């Protein structure tokens, strides 16, 4: 893969840890290119307290931001997450070092809020970032205004999503949409939407297989991207009908009614849900939460949400379970994907078993 360096901090030279990481990346066979060349990923060197965004050329270009600090800080998780959002990064590392360049430890965080501390080494950093820089996003939506609903028509599946989404709030696993406007100016928010079609950050999602609206193929209803699941408004506003996936263009096909919100997009996890429904006809509903259940199968890599790699890994793990139609799969340093014949079965199974804090693994 090709990579480039972007220094957006006030430093004149590369911090010592970054220099070590670059040597490690090159030794593993990857090539550093000039700033104006096409790259697979960017090492964005930032100030932790004044992080600046690197403006990607396209959505395939992953950004790994790196900050170096001297001495400890309180609430590193909050500080690193703020810097992650402000720098619009796929992953952020913060390396703590002393005046004599002794590297004590590092912190890593992703948009999925997988945050953990580790003993610094360039090899370890590369291994953490490799699943991110080698992944392929499926974030684009192709919108079709072909959903014809009669006035006051009730879609049972949509009503079920609205009902059971409120249960997520009761369980304490439903953060409200993340207000990007608190961290980014409107120009950067517009840039984010052009690249990723994201207008907000919100964790967790629900989907249910489509039966009410006659349509061929693998189709399902799903919550939209960046919306408050506890206050869903309805179809075309924060609920969407996924009617297919086009692999060549990596686009999810979305069917909407006339008068839909033109900026709405389906959850980034739609590709994962699509692959699960396609592979397992007995699965009728899927819930994803940033929480945990002990003793479940778990992915061995920290793939980003919305990537083919994460979706394929989850499907492979489901095939290893005794009952893929009624099970839970762990997403490393992220959360769980839960399958069931319907939402009622899912919520009855996880009641009393769900842990709010996701364990972090190196």
Same-domain pairing of 126 and 175: no
7 and 119 fall within a common domain? yes
| Cα atoms in the 13 Å half-sphere on the side-chain side of 287 | 32
Q: Which pLDDT score, from 0 to 100, does residue 69 have?
A: 86
Are the CB atoms for 102 and 71 separated by under 8 Å? no
The position carrying tokens 């699965």 is: 283
Q: Average of pLDDT values for 124-152?
A: 92
Please state, rounded to an integer, the average pLDDT across all residues of the chain: 88
Please say which residue of 133, 160, 194 terminates a domain.
133
- List the domain range (segments joined by +) for residue 91: 2-133
- 93 and 36 in one domain? yes
Residue 199's pLDDT band (boundaries 50, 70, 90)? low
User: What are the pLDDT digits (tens) for 69-99?
Assistant: 887 788 888 888 888 888 888 899 999 887 6
**CA–CA distance, 249 with 171 (Å, rounded to integer):** 37
Asked which of 75, 100, 133 is the last residue of a domain, the reply is 133
Q: What is the DSSP letter of 12?
A: S
| pLDDT, position 102 | 66
Assign 251 a pLDDT band (cuts: 50, 70, 90): very high
Q: How far is 225 from 203, CA to CA, in rounded Å?
A: 9
Q: What is the pLDDT of residues 293-321, one digit of tens each?
A: 999 999 998 898 899 999 999 999 999 99
Let me know whether 56 and 74 are in one domain: yes
Please give the structure tokens belonging to residue 18. 């970054």
88, 116, 133: which is the final residue of a domain? 133
pLDDT: which is higher, 175 or 138: 138
* pLDDT the model gives residue 72: 73
Please indicate, yes or no, whether residues 118 and 174 belong to a single structural domain of this protein.
Answer: no
283 in any annotated domain = yes
pTM reported for the whole predicted model? 0.90
Among 289, 284, 312, which residue's Cα sits nearest to residue 221?
284
Q: Report pLDDT digits (tens) over 96-131.
A: 887 666 667 899 988 876 788 898 899 999 999 999
| Cβ neighbours of 348 (radius 10 Å) | 11
How many whole angstroms separate alpha carbon 5 and alpha carbon 27?
Answer: 16
């Amino acid at each position: 893969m090709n990579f480039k360096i972007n220094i957006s901090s006030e430093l004149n030279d590369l911090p010592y840890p970054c220099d070590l990481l670059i040597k490690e990346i090159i030794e593993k066979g990857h090539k550093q290119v000039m700033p104006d060349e096409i790259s697979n990923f960017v090492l964005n060197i930032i100030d932790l307290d004044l992080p600046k965004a690197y403006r990607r050329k396209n959505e395939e270009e992953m950004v790994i931001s790196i900050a170096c600090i001297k001495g400890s800080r309180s609430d590193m998780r909050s500080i690193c997450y703020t810097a992650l959002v402000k720098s619009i990064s796929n992953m952020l590392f913060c390396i703590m070092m002393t005046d004599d360049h002794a590297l004590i430890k590092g912190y890593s965080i992703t948009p999925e809020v997988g945050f953990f501390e580790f003993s610094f080494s360039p090899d370890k950093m590369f291994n953490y970032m490799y699943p991110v820089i080698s992944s392929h996003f499926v974030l684009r939506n192709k919108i079709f205004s072909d959903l014809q609903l009669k006035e006051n028509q009730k879609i049972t599946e949509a009503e079920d999503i609205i009902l059971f989404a409120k249960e997520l709030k009761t369980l304490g696993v439903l953060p409200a949409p993340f207000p990007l406007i608190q961290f980014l100016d409107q120009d950067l928010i517009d840039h984010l939407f052009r690249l990723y079609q994201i207008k907000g950050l919100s964790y967790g999602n629900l989907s249910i297989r489509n039966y009410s609206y006659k349509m061929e193929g693998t189709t399902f209803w799903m919550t939209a991207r960046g919306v408050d699941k506890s206050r869903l408004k309805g179809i075309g506003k924060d609920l969407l009908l996924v009617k297919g996936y086009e692999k060549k263009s990596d686009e999810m096909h979305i069917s909407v009614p006339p008068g839909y919100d033109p900026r709405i997009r389906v959850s980034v996890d739609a590709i994962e849900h699509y692959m699960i429904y396609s592979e397992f006809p007995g699965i009728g509903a899927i819930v994803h939460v940033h929480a945990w259940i002990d003793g479940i199968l778990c992915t061995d890599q920290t793939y980003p949400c919305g990537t083919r790699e994460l979706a394929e890994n989850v499907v492979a793990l489901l095939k290893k379970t005794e009952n893929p139609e009624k099970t839970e799969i762990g997403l490393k340093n992220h959360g769980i994907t839960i399958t069931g014949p319907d939402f009622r079965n899912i919520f009855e199974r996880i009641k009393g078993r769900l842990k709010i804090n996701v364990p972090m693994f190196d």
